[in-house]
Amino acid sequence: MEKQILTDAMETFRIEAESLAETAKVLDAEAFGRAVEVLSKAPRIAAAGCGHTGIACRHFAHLMCCIERPARFLSPAEAVHGGMGFLQPGDVMLLASRGGKTDELMPIADICRKKGVTVIAVTENLSSPLAEKADISVVHLSNIELGKKTPGVSTLIRIAEALDVATDWILRANTPDIYAVANEKIGELLDDCTNDEMLSILRILEEVKRAVRHN
């Protein structure tokens, strides 16, 4: 088991390293240079994102502080409820969204435009609404999320065991059968639940669906 964990970890490191290399190949040097320039001169810097990109933005803000650049992370909810007062004309807001369509970030970009705050968008979709609202757009790619890398056999087996399904069900995820299997699994999950428990589970599923689509 320990050997398998180490093998999986090394494979993850390799995939992430390849992702960085792929990003370097498509990086717009001019846009990247402009982003570095405005970040180096901005009196204040803020960063915002949702889900895992939000975690990356929080780390980005911390790294900026480590090199003596005043920065803070703003959650989208905080930003639109007074948090944007932190930023003034000439400051910079970095907004990150994998698909560039995260609804919660759009009002922030609009507020920045009105206040004279420079917006840097980090996204893999340079044709997205977020990229169009930004002053500078920097591309980011992930081989895993773009489907350029697929899980190995051992990973597929562990996923199948966790879901209690056959591996071919996972491999045929785009076929109509998935709906029947999903309905059956959800039915089994809710079968012994009380009404209150079912409502709670459904609310959680709705939040998960919203988070997946936004990121």
DSSP string, 86-121: G--TT-EEEEE-SSS--GGGHHHHHHHHHHT-EEEE
As a whole number, mean pLDDT of residues 109-126 equals 93
Residue 212, pLDDT > 50, answer yes
pLDDT tens digit string along 54-69? Answer: 999 999 999 999 999 9
Rounded to whole angstroms, the Cα distance separating 121 from 210 reads 21
pLDDT level of residue 98 (50, 70, 90 thresholds): confident
Round to the nearest angstrom and report the end-to-end CA distance of the chain.
32
Q: Which residues pair with 109 in a beta bridge?
A: none
Structure tokens at 130: 């977020």
Q: Provide φ and ψ at 156, rounded to 5°.
A: -60, -40
Q: Which residues pair with 168 in a beta bridge?
A: none
Rounded to whole angstroms, the Cα distance separating 125 from 80 reads 24
**Amino acid found at 79:** A
Residue 39, pLDDT > 60, answer yes
pLDDT level of residue 140 (50, 70, 90 thresholds): low
Global pTM value: 0.62
pLDDT level of residue 148 (50, 70, 90 thresholds): very low
Rounded to whole angstroms, the Cα distance separating 92 from 138 reads 14
Q: Which of 119, 129, 126 is nearest to 141 (CA)?
A: 126
| The domain defined by 2-139 carries CATH number 3.40.50.10490 | yes
Rounded to whole angstroms, the Cα distance separating 185 from 73 reads 39
As a whole number, mean pLDDT of residues 137-153 equals 56
pLDDT of the residue at 149: 47
- The domain limits of the chain are 2-139, 153-214
As a whole number, mean pLDDT of residues 176-189 equals 65
Number of helices (H) and strands (E), helices first, in the chain? 10, 5
Count other Cβ atoms within 10 Å, centred on residue 79: 24
pLDDT of the residue at 93: 98
Rounded to whole angstroms, the Cα distance separating 127 from 107 reads 18
Q: Which residues contact 184 (CB under 8 A, 6 or more apart)?
A: none
pLDDT of the residue at 60: 95
pLDDT of the residue at 145: 46
